[in-house]
Amino acid sequence: MTEQEDEFFEGKRPWSIIKDEVLRSYLSPYMAKVNRLGQSIILVDGFAGPGVFDDGLDGSPLIICKAAEKFAAGKYKAFFINKKKKYHDKLESVLRKGGWLGAATPILGDTTEILPLLPNLLGNQTVFLYLDPFGPTGSPFSLLEPFLKRSKVHSTEIVVMMHMPIAHRLAARNAVESGKGDHPKIQKFHQAMSRIFGGDYWKPIMFSSDLTTEDRESQLISAYCDNLAAYLPYTGFCPVREGENDRVKYFFVFASRHPDAMLLMHDAMLKAYFKRIHEDAYEGTLFENIDWKDSLSKKGLKEAIVENVKIQPGITRKTLWINIVHRYFMKYQKSDFLLVVQQLVDSGELICPTPRKTKRLNESCELFLANE
């Protein structure tokens, strides 16, 4: 694994570009928002790496520091943990060169041993926890629980990268199907899976013969999000792959207590993923200049809007969008949502009695079905 880790930092892979673009797109508006809460901000990168790739591109520590300095200078503390000394030393040098040492602290040690100490030191701080281990065993559910269980009055955001190839290896579905599920080595693998996901709910999903590999993965991560949502109710996930027809390398999983954070992450993930997939599919062709947004489908959006209004008459447009994102994370873009809602009102299928100066809707507009 050490060799593979070293190769990882030689230069950004396409899937790393998606991950880092999501992080970059999310952190700027996130830092601007939480800075207004008036609490000090704690940013933790549990598997930081050297800070920069060998090709000079920023790694997660620099992405975090640049956003924090721009939107919350003097009001944050960032902690970057590395188990490998050479990464720790390089990161310390990079942070010193950038003038961030002090606000940012590199820590040499094992994240699974260091991170459990942090919740005992926290008060009312805003916390952003980012975990991108080389494999999922580096972020067991127990590592997240102290942060998940923080008081509801405190802002807590958690981002975890879940590595799918290793999850499949640990599930050992082929071995189970061949009758070797009771072998001590396989049982050890399964115990690791249960620690990672915080329960045994992964078993019927990963052992199902009725699902494709990608269906197993998406259902597993969806169930994992449900587990996180018992503590932080607004969750979502984004597949990370090299190209549209390539297997999923990771899932970028997000959990928050605030719907605005979910909306920000939805936008960041939608853009990073579909832009990358569009580039992979059309780069060097006649279609490469087509906007990636034009490839997104509105299929089912009208029905989802009508269903939500039927269930909750008088719902505001803002709350309606939150519901749509929560239910259909990363499926629809807001510009399409706004267009379809306006079309439904203009056609008379929905009515909006909320007083306003023009026919244009706003976020506070209440919506009802016309025939009810």
User: For residue 188, how many other CB atoms are within 10 A of its CB?
Assistant: 10
Residues 259-279 have pLDDT tens digits of: 999 999 999 999 999 888 888
- Its pTM surpasses 0.75: yes
Residues 340-355, mean pLDDT to the nearest whole number: 95
Name the residue type at position 144.
Answer: L
**pLDDT range class, residue 352, cuts 50, 70, 90:** very high
All CATH 3.40.50.150 domain ranges of the chain, comma separated, are: 2-282
Task: Inform me whether the pLDDT recorded for 224 exceeds 50.
Answer: yes
Cα→Cα distances 206→176, 209, 222, 226, Å:
10, 9, 13, 16
∠ CA(174), CA(180), CA(183), 5° rounding? 125
Which of 133 and 282 is assigned the larger pLDDT? 133
Relative to beta strand 104-108, strand 76-82 is parallel
Strand order in the sheet with 234-240: 104-108, 76-82, 41-45, 126-131, 156-163, 250-256, 234-240
For residue 151, what are the contacts with CB-CB under 8 A and spacing of at least 6? none
Beta bridge partners of 128: 43, 157
CA dihedral 279, 281, 284, 288 (to 10 degrees): -60
Task: Inform me whether the pLDDT recorded for 112 exceeds 80.
Answer: yes
Per DSSP, the three-state class of 162 is: strand
Q: How many CA atoms lie within 13 A of 17 on its CB side?
A: 17
**pLDDT range class, residue 11, cuts 50, 70, 90:** very low
Residues 202-223 have pLDDT tens digits of: 999 999 999 999 999 999 999 9
For residue 330, what are the contacts with CB-CB under 8 A and spacing of at least 6? 236, 237, 238, 266, 269, 270, 273
Residues 274-299 have pLDDT tens digits of: 888 888 777 777 777 777 788 888 99
Kindly report the CATH number that applies to the domain delimited by 2-282. 3.40.50.150
- Quote the pLDDT of residue 7: 45
State which H helix or E strand residue 44 sits in: strand 41-45
- Quote the pLDDT of residue 6: 44
Report d(CA 141, CA 20) in Å as an integer. 23
Dihedral sign computed on CA atoms, order 287, 288, 291, 293: positive
For residue 36, what are the contacts with CB-CB under 8 A and spacing of at least 6? none
How much is the mean pLDDT over the chain? 91
Task: Inform me whether the pLDDT recorded for 50 exceeds 80.
Answer: yes
CA nearest neighbour of 143 among 127, 156, 154, 158: 158
- Quote the pLDDT of residue 372: 66
| Tokens 């006649």, located at residue | 286
Output the six-digit token pair for 355: 């007083």
Residues 69-80, mean pLDDT to the nearest whole number: 95
- Quote the pLDDT of residue 3: 45
Q: What are phi and psi of 290, to 5 degrees?
A: -70, 135
Q: How many CA atoms lie within 13 A of 252 on its CB side?
A: 24
Domain 298-369, second-level architecture:
Orthogonal Bundle (1.10)
Report d(CA 343, CA 346) in Å as an integer. 5
CB 125 within 8 A of CB 44: no
CA nearest neighbour of 252 among 365, 64, 266: 266
All CATH 1.10.10.10 domain ranges of the chain, comma separated, are: 298-369
Percent of the chain at pLDDT exceeding 70: 95
